[in-house]
Copies of this chain bind each other. A is one copy, B any other.
Amino acid sequence: MEKELRFKKEDLMDFVVRYMSKLGVPEEDAKIVGEVLISADLRGVESHGLLRLGSYYGSRISKDYIDPTTPFKIISETPTTALIDGGNGCGQVVSFKAMQMAIAKAKKFGLSAITVNNSNHFGIAGYYSMMALEHGMIGICMTNSQPLVAPTYGKTAVMGTNPISVAAPSQKEYPFVLDMATSAVAYGKIQLYDKKNEKIPLGWGIDEDGLVTDDPTKIKPGGHGALLPLGGMEITAGYKGFGLAIVVEILCSILSGGNYLTQVGSPSKPEPTGVSHFFMAINIETFRPLIDFKTQLDDMMTLLKNSPLAVDRDEILVAGQREFEYANYNNINGVPLIKPIVDDLIKEGEKVGVFFPIEKVLKNN
Count A-side interface residues using an 8 Å CB cutoff: 86
With both beta carbons as reference points, the residue of chain B lying nearest to A232 in the complex is identified as: B236
Name the segment of A58-66, A256-264, A325-333, A339-347 touching the other chain. A256-264
Residues on the B chain within 8 Å of A26, using CB: none
Q: Does A115 contact B (CB under 8 A)?
A: yes
Q: Mark A256-292, 1 if CB is under 8 A from B, else 0.
A: 1100111000000000000000000011101110001
The reply to whether A113 and B282 form a contact with Cβ atoms under 8 Å apart is: yes
A300 CB contact (under 8 Å) in B156, B243, B251, B260:
B260
Q: How far is the CA of A314 from the CA of B75 in the complex (A)?
A: 41
Looking at the assembled complex, report how far the CB atom of A305 sits from the nearest CB atom of chain B, in whole angstroms.
Answer: 9
Q: Does A316 contact B (CB under 8 A)?
A: yes
Contacts A210-B313, A304-B151 given; indicate if A201 touches B236 (C-beta within 8 A).
yes
Copies of this chain present: 2
Residues of A307-325 contacting chain B, CB below 8 A: 307-311, 313-319
The reply to whether A156 and B236 form a contact with Cβ atoms under 8 Å apart is: no
With both beta carbons as reference points, the residue of chain B lying nearest to A244 in the complex is identified as: B178
The reply to whether A154 and B308 form a contact with Cβ atoms under 8 Å apart is: yes
A250 CB contact (under 8 Å) in B76, B297, B309:
B297
Name the segment of A28-36, A40-48, A77-85, A91-99 touching the other chain. A77-85
The reply to whether B318 and A184 form a contact with Cβ atoms under 8 Å apart is: no
The reply to whether A309 and B154 form a contact with Cβ atoms under 8 Å apart is: yes
Contacts A80-B110, A178-B244 given; indicate if A255 touches B237 (C-beta within 8 A).
no
Residues on A lying within 8 angstroms of B by beta carbon are 75-76, 78-81, 83, 109-113, 115, 138, 150-156, 158, 166, 168, 176, 178, 180, 184-185, 201, 203-204, 206, 209-211, 230-232, 235-237, 239-244, 246-247, 249-251, 253-257, 260-262, 282-284, 286-288, 292-293, 296-297, 300, 303-304, 307-311, 313-319
